[in-house]
Amino acid sequence: MKPLRGTKDILPDEIIVWQYVYSIAYEILTLYNYKEIRTPLLENTILFNRSIGNYTDIVNKEMYSFLDQGERNISLRPEGTASIARAFISNKLYLRKKINRLWYLGAMFRYERPQKGRQRQFHQLGIECIGSPNPIADVEVIRLATKILKALKCLEYKLEINSIGNIEERNLYQTQLINYLNKYKYELDISSQNQLKTNPLRILDSKNSKTQEILWEGPKLKDFLKSKSLDHFNEICNHLNSLNISYEINEYLVRGLDYYNYTAFEIKEQSLGSQNTICGGGRYDQLIQQLGGPKTPSVGWAIGIERLVIITQNQLKIQQDNKKIYIAVQIQSNKIRNQIWDIIKTLEELKINFELDLSHSSLHKQIKQANQISAKICFIIGEEEIKNEYITVKWLQTGTQQKIKLNKLKNYLIYLKNGI
């Protein structure tokens, strides 16, 4: 039986890369005082309708929604920010401190066509800086994204940024855009024709060359931005210049979620091909108030873990933390019980990786298994060892053997620990 289409088992020899990504994120984000938060996979569907937007593809086509046994409309979360905003409100985090820096790593769900780096159950690493309208908060989150990517050797990336203004400015622009595009309605691609009625700004993201050609001659969002929006964006650009963080201004970048304002940005990794957006984010100053909380300006981003893992696997040689000691047992008797557990307790105390053979196979086969898992040392315990209270220590790379008295084992392991 195979897993459902668009889902994937993460096997033990792959999970090490996921753990490495987590450890890098934890280290960097802790340095900046970001605190990890974990929200439920299940949320009320209305949360995403109100935050993401009724006319977005996510809400219209991609959400996994259903009625539960209590006749409640439930959805598997399709993205992280709305859940973080809900948690911020329901737990009244705004009463604890003015600025809340939060991060998360978890599964999301969207009904999309599966392809390389894109699954129906996928994972995102995200951060949210909640409570500051200051442009430097935007710069902080952008810089953290680049630091994490660099630490994971994702070096072929391009940062694209844009100012999408506030709701009033976008509404004025949208009216002009609709008036302009209506003149070319039947020259647009089918998807853009549909979006013209429901979500016209999404047409800016069209990859269709003819649609892009039409847009090139049309009204520009930047011409509708007032001084507050422009000043906020210019301040971000000045900070990025000071930090030597390269970026491109993409006037057609709007992001696919309704809650963004002012800053929108994406980071694209060139090595991924056509599906190359690895990080997306922006500022959302109205979302928390829109969901019933206090007015709370915020900014954040999310990184797709599946795509990040593809790059990290290619760039980093992460070594599996293999078993260091294999315990081969040649005798099955009550006599051996206490010695086995005494040895294991010593290894636990010293935090030395080990594996106890459970096969009852011959010594030859047990040593072969020890080599297969790349153990460095094999402890051999048989009749003679039990009788004379020692362990035969076999160094698998050289074949060298030593006899170590049980009462000297701890000191022996302490001495060798750094070299095992």
Q: Which residue has the tokens 């009462």?
A: 407
Examine residue 242 and state whether it is found in any structural domain, yes or no: yes
Would residue 191 count as lying in a domain? yes
Q: What is the pLDDT of residues 115-137, one digit of tens each?
A: 777 899 999 999 999 999 999 99
Say how many C-beta atoms besides its own lie within 10 A of residue 303's C-beta.
25
Q: Does 247 count as an annotated binding residue?
A: no
280-303 mean pLDDT: 95
Q: What is the pLDDT of residue 419?
A: 63
Residues 308, 350: one domain? no
Which of 275, 293, 315 corresponds to the end of one domain? 315
Query: Residue 256 annotated as binding?
Result: no
Q: Is 34 annotated as a binding residue?
A: no
- The CA distance from 335 to 356, in Å, is 17
Is 383 assigned to a binding site? no
Q: Considering 315, 337, 360, which residue would you say is the last residue of a domain?
A: 315
Per-residue model confidence as pLDDT tens digits over 139-174 = 999 999 999 999 998 888 999 999 999 989 988 998
**Are 212 and 341 in a shared domain?**
no
Q: Is residue 229 part of a domain?
A: yes
Residue 259 annotated as binding site: yes
Question: Is there a domain that residue 295 lies in?
Answer: yes
Kindly report the CATH number assigned to the domain that includes residue 413.
3.40.50.800
Mean of the per-residue pLDDT values of the chain: 90
Instruction: Identify whether 5 is part of a domain.
Output: no
The reply to whether 342 and 300 lie within a common domain is no
Q: Which pair of structure tokens corresponds to residue 369?
A: 């298994």
CATH code for the domain in which residue 98 is found: 3.30.930.10
Average the pLDDT over 221-249 and give the result: 95
Residue 110 among known ligand-binding residues: yes
- Which strands make up the sheet holding 248-249, listed edge to edge? 35-36, 100-109, 121-130, 298-304, 277-283, 261-269, 157-165, 248-249
Instruction: Answer yes or no: do 288 and 392 share one domain.
Output: no
Give the chain's domain count: 2
Q: Is residue 7 part of a domain?
A: no
- One domain, residues 221 and 261: yes
Task: Please give the pLDDT value at position 287.
Answer: 93
311 and 329 co-located in one domain: no
Q: Is the pLDDT of residue 284 over 70?
A: yes
Residue 361, domain member (yes or no): yes
Same domain? 253 vs 335 = no
Q: Is 32 labelled as part of a ligand binding site?
A: no
Q: Are residues 295 and 333 in the same domain?
A: no
Please indicate if the annotation marks 96 as binding a ligand: no
Q: Is it the case that residue 320 has pLDDT exceeding 70?
A: no
Cβ–Cβ contacts within 10 Å for residue 399, how many? 7
Q: Inform me whether the pLDDT recorded for 310 exceeds 70.
A: yes
Percent of the chain residues topping a pLDDT of 90: 62
**Co-location of 350 and 291 in the same domain:** no
> In the predicted model, what is the mean pLDDT of residues 348-355?
92
Q: What is the pLDDT of residue 12?
A: 87
Domain assignment present for residue 4? The answer is no
80 among annotated binding-site residues? yes
Report the pLDDT averaged over residues 220-238.
Answer: 94
Domain boundary among 315, 345, 373: 315
Whether the CB-CB separation of 111 and 4 falls below 8 Å is answered with no
Q: Is a pLDDT exceeding 80 seen at residue 270?
A: no
| Mean pLDDT, range 191-202, rounded to an integer | 84
pLDDT bracket for residue 288 (50, 70, 90): very high
Residue 193 sits in the same domain as residue 288: yes
Residues 134, 280, single domain; the answer is yes
Segments forming the whole domain that contains residue 332: 325-419
Poorest-confidence range of 1-10, 43-52, 95-104, 111-120?
111-120
pLDDT of 256 > 70? The answer is no
**Residue that the structure tokens 């500022």 belong to:** 283
Q: Please give the pLDDT value at position 322.
A: 60
Same domain, 59 and 158: yes
